[in-house]
Amino acid sequence: MDQAGTDLPAIPPDWLAPPDLAAAKAAQIELAARVVPRDAHPPVRLLGGVDISTTRFDPEGWVHAAVVVLDWPGLQVVARAGASLRASIPYIPGYLGFREVPALLAAWARLEPKPDLVMVDGHGVAHPRGLGIAAHLGVVLDIPSIGVAKSPLVGRPEAPLGEEPGAVQPLLWKGRRLGTVLRSRRRANPLWISVGHRISPEGAVEWVRRCLTGYRLPEPTRQAHLAANAVRRAALAGAAEPEASS
């Protein structure tokens, strides 16, 4: 078996590193068809969070990825893993997965134990072709995932979002519901939540709410962001001073 508990065909190399945007678009459509928007995940004992960090004007295009594991319901970090790879493409709205997934896969391979459900910094199916990075990563690894974005890509709240923490509004796009907009904290911009893979729309929102600890971002994604920054700093320090360990 080449994927974690799957009997689906393997992911063709061209789907991970398409030769051009037209091929990338076709790959997204194929991968999006594999998204399972239902609660098809094991009991959650360990939650995961993933994020990437980059350097402002880095001509080399390095992508520093981090994956963290938190226990549930404690929400304490119990494991972290990171990896730095050069991006194959620049940031292009709608094609984030092709830029960040490779580095995330490298970090994922080093992670132990593996979490039961992962929260990704970015959209799930709330994407033009239904394959935001959370769905992309989820399908490629065939793992349960949730998209937790900090700003919209497509669509808008059905109605003005309430100011109170916990307020929600359906995320609508072209007459379809793609996810939920959630006010996670007072006076903070909302979170854009959508299904990644192997989770229901309701489950996605419920898990994010359960992981809120007073900050704007749910703990898994918040910790992943901190971890990704640490990976970047470590990589920069390592590049400046080749060997420096005793």
Residues at the interface with DNA (CB under 7 A) = 51-56, 91, 93-97, 121-123, 127, 132-134, 136, 147, 149-153, 187, 225, 228-229, 232
Closest approach, Cβ 11 to DNA, in A, equals 17
Residue (110 or 156) nearer to DNA, CB: 156
Q: Which contiguous run of DSSP H or E holds residue 70?
A: strand 62-71
Residue (70 or 154) nearer to DNA, CB: 154
Q: Has 121 been labeled as part of a binding site?
A: yes
Residue (44 or 235) nearer to DNA, CB: 235
Beta bridge partners of residue 82, listed in sequence order = 66
Closest CA to 107 of 209, 22, 231: 231
The two tokens of residue 173 are 């796009």
Closest approach, Cβ 128 to DNA, in A, equals 8
Residue (70 or 153) nearer to DNA, CB: 153
Contact yes or no for 135/109 (Cβ under 8 A): no
Q: In angstroms, how far apart are the furthest CA atoms of the chain?
A: 60
Closest approach, Cβ 97 to DNA, in A, equals 6
Distance CA(61)–CA(89), nearest Å, equals 8
Q: Has 71 been labeled as part of a binding site?
A: no
Closest approach, Cβ 191 to DNA, in A, equals 9
Contact yes or no for 221/191 (Cβ under 8 A): no
Contacts of 19 (CB under 8 A, 6+ apart): none
Closest approach, Cβ 10 to DNA, in A, equals 22
Residue (63 or 117) nearer to DNA, CB: 63
Q: In a 3-state reduction of DSSP, which class is residue 82?
A: strand
Q: What share of the chain is helix, strand, coil (3-state, %, to 5)?
A: 30, 25, 45
Residues within the annotated binding site?
51, 121
